[in-house]
Structure 1
Amino acid sequence: MAMQSLSTGLISFQQWAHLSTDAGHIYLGLVIFFVIALCHQRQLKSHYAIWAVLGLALALELFGARHDILERGYWRVTESVRNILHMSLMPLLIWLSAYYRVWRG
């Protein structure tokens, strides 16, 4: 019951903000990365921030896979890989740029 209300709330938020699910994944990954990087001393070079984004992306997709298997009878693997890439690509690029000092300063 709680998961259904959470899902309904997320869908209504996406409709209110005029976001697609792909954009929602991208923004969620960036928000998680920046919040954890802000709390950590190394900021954008924080290993915790990038691992949190990757862990959250995997956890959300495993939960989505459970839903797919129970509802459809099979797991949409390519869709899951695409969602993981959407959520983690931008934070990974920012983290790599900061870690290897692409921006001098």
Structure 2
Amino acid sequence: MSPLQSAKFWLIQHVGLAKDALHIYVGLTLFLGAALAFRWPLRSWKPLAVVFAAALLGEAWDLRDSLIYRTRIDLWGNWHDIWNTMFWPTMLLLLARTTGIFATSANTRRSG
């Protein structure tokens, strides 16, 4: 078992969340963390690109592990994981772009 798979199983056992929920939490953490760390607005494509890159890398690693350890390849499962990881960050980006819900007072003063 690869270090990534070991880390995933450890998290599942010790955090008390299902694997699908972990994908959601990782996606949100990466999205908001990248936006905060790099001072990117939530309406920017950049935080979403960070999440997408991480989701693709994680699933590529899963596929690699399946080949190396001769376990079943589940492409539908890989797609499901990417979907779970991307859904809420994408919704936050759309909300930031189409509503004023994440507008700061400085942005509100400039546009008003």
TM-score band (shorter)?
0.7 to 0.9
Match of 1:99 among 90, 97, 100: 97
Number of residue pairs aligned between Structure 1 and Structure 2: 103
Alignment of 1:24-63 (within 5 A): 24-63=22-61
Q: CA deviation at 1:14?
A: 2.1
Determine the structure 2 residue equivalent to 1:81.
79
TM-score by length of 2: 0.78
C-alpha RMSD of the superposition: 2.2
Counterpart residue type for residue 80 of structure 1: N
Counterpart residue type for residue 54 of structure 2: L
Unaligned runs of 5+ in 2: 104-112
Determine the structure 2 residue equivalent to 1:17.
15
Unaligned runs of 5+ in 1: none
Q: Which whole-Å CA distance do the structure 2 matches of 1:69 and 1:19 have between them? A: 27
Q: Calculate percent identity across the aligned residue pairs.
A: 25
TM-score by length of 1: 0.83
Contact kept, 8 Å, 1:68 with 1:75, in 2: the verdict is: yes
Runs of 4+ in 1 over 4 A off after TM superposition: none
**Rg larger for:** 2
Q: Which whole-Å CA distance do the structure 2 matches of 1:39 and 1:73 have between them? A: 37
